Amino acid sequence: MAINRISHITVFVDDQQAACDWYVDKLGFAVVMDNRDVVPNLRWLTVAPEGNPDTQIVLQLAHSNDEKSRVGSNLMTVLHSDDCEIEMKTLEEQGVEIVDPPQEVPWGVSGIIRDLYGNPYNLVGPKQ
């Protein structure tokens, strides 16, 4: 098969800078690209886990009514952590909404958070 990986996931946002700040400050992500020169009137802004830019989140400014209706309604995205419980505690201390606190599940430890727009993220890691 020719498809061999996911390179980008688009998240529609109302404010690109506020979204960027949230992903950098709360999740510890790094800005991979921030370019205003590719397409006129478009800021191409992507973030990814520090040191791992293989799958980037595109923070896409919602322009049309259809795009605006999609802000905060992304499907669940799964993020990995080496220590889910400590990571979730740190996120909670930083004011990140915890939907489901970390708990042991058959595949490890799992918890759910929401970003500043309400998009859900499942944080998973190995059993400690």
76 and 46 both lie in a single domain: no
- Residue 1's pLDDT is 61
The last residue of a domain, from among 24, 40, 71: 71
Residue numbers of the domain that contains 86: 72-128
Mean pLDDT by 10 residues, the chain (128 residues): 84 97 98 89 94 96 94 94 95 97 94 96 93
Cα 97 from Cα 118, distance rounded (Å): 9
- Say whether both 55 and 78 belong to one domain: no
The predicted pLDDT at position 118 comes to 96
| One domain, residues 10 and 55 | yes
Q: What is the CATH number of the domain that holds 24?
A: 3.10.180.10
Residues 67, 104, single domain; the answer is no
67 and 82 housed in the same domain: no
The answer on 67 and 11 residing in a single domain is yes
End residue of a domain, out of 71, 89, 106: 71
Residue type, 32: V
DSSP class of 128: -
**Could you tell me the CATH number of the domain that includes residue 109?**
3.30.720.110
pTM: 0.90
If one counts the domains in the chain, the total is: 2
Domain boundary among 23, 54, 71: 71
Judgement on whether residues 104 and 62 belong to the same structural domain of the protein: no
Query: What confidence score (pLDDT) does residue 30 get?
Result: 98
What is the dihedral angle through the alpha carbons of 7, 12, 17, 21, rounded to the nearest 10 degrees?
Answer: -70
pLDDT of the residue at 75: 92
- The whole-angstrom distance between residue 11's C-alpha and the CA centroid of its chain comes to 8
- Does one domain contain both 89 and 110? yes
Per-residue tokens: 86: 């400590």
User: Do residues 78 and 118 share a domain?
Assistant: yes
